[in-house]
Amino acid sequence: ISIIIPCHRVVGTSGSLIGYAGGIEKKVALLMLEHTDMSRFFVPKKGTVF
């Protein structure tokens, strides 16, 4: 379902990967599966607050 409904592609205005119900790790995995250039994004660590 995650590939069909692409909520994992939502990125914050600052370029941070935010707001994915499946978790940031799964969001990153899906983006990498799509060969997304991850150098453009900030991947928050657990406990990071914006």
Question: Of 6, 7, 26, 38, which is the active-site residue?
Answer: 7
Please state, in angstroms and rounded to a whole number, the distance separating the CA atoms of residues 48 and 7.
Answer: 21
Active site residue 7: yes
Task: Kindly list the distances between the CA atom of residue 33 and the CA atoms of 15, 36, 43, 50, in Å, as whole numbers in the listed order.
Answer: 19, 8, 16, 26
Catalytic machinery residues: 7
